[in-house]
Amino acid sequence: MQLKNARILLTGATGGLGRELARQLSAAGAQLLLAGRDNARLAELSGSLPTLSSSVRADLTRPEGIAAVAGATREFGVNVLINNAGIGNFGLFDAQAWDTVAQVLATDLAAPLRLTHALLPLLKAQPEAAVVNIGSTFGSLPFPGFAAYSAAKAGLRGFSQALRRELADTRIAVIHFAPRAIDTPLNSDSMVALNRALGHRADSAATVATQMVAALRCERGERHFGFPERLFAWLNGIAPSLIDRGLSGKLPVVKRFAHTP
């Protein structure tokens, strides 16, 4: 896909990965509609970009938020939707309040589906279009301590694959991009400590954004970023009991950090 003059809706634009995506997409010549929840940060980001950009403030877990973004999108003439907004969540499932679990599902799964649903008529009318869903390694390698987040990201992966197959006879590319840990504010102190204790590497937002932009450019349907995580995710698909056994050894570490305030 041509990024020069593409018109892209980017959700979670003021977050760690979002800011880098905005910067790199704008540098590639794309025009951006930035979605976030804080007007001041949206304005500051918009003012720092070299190409035309606009912004819309919306909480994507609320119907009025989806409606606001959909309205702004029609005005902007968007041809690429990047579902990047998301929240993290670390803790043992039975120790979490249901409201927390519900917020993860609403933000990381229901919101991208709803937004895609609202925008598809507009995308179908474009000569060239794409939907990019930012998943996670945990969507293919579900991890103890991340049950709700893994469920949401696995759901997003399934949605992306089904939609890609459903839109195969259209000009809309559907891209599922799944990074491993990224060094952004999404990771709480206990998540950072857990990653360190388990030897999990975290990539910079700039590195991940570069890979995501490349996946969009060449319309690569599936991109799982990070090794050996990619290998373990594949193995989990064909022999999950091997991964069960491997991760059971890590459970005491997960429990230790899950109980850290």
CB of 68 to ligand NAP, least distance (A): 11
- Residue 16 or 172 with smaller CB distance to ligand NAP: 16
- Residue 54 or 126 with smaller CB distance to ligand NAP: 54
Burial degree of 82 (CB within 10 A; 0-12, 13-18, 19+): buried
- Residue 79 or 107 with smaller CB distance to ligand NAP: 107
Give the containing element (helix H, strand E) for 99.
Answer: helix 98-105
Tell me phi and psi for residue 112, to 5 degrees: -60, -35
Residue of minimal CB distance from ligand NAP?
A: 15
CB of 180 to ligand NAP, least distance (A): 6
Q: What is the Cα–Cα distance from 125 to 167, expressed in whole angstroms?
A: 13
Q: Catalytic one among 76, 90, 143, 149?
A: 149
Alpha-carbon Rg for the chain, nearest whole angstrom, is 18
CB of 125 to ligand NAP, least distance (A): 25
Q: Which residue has the tokens 């990024």?
A: 3
- State how far Cα 241 lies from the chain centre: 27
Q: What is the Cα–Cα distance from 113 to 24, expressed in whole angstroms?
A: 25
Q: Which residues here bind ligand NAP, judged by CB under 6 A?
A: 12, 14-18, 36-38, 59-61, 84-87, 107, 134, 136, 179, 181-182, 184-187
Does 149 participate in catalysis according to the annotation?
yes
- Residue 155 or 179 with smaller CB distance to ligand NAP: 179
Catalytic residue positions, numbered: 149
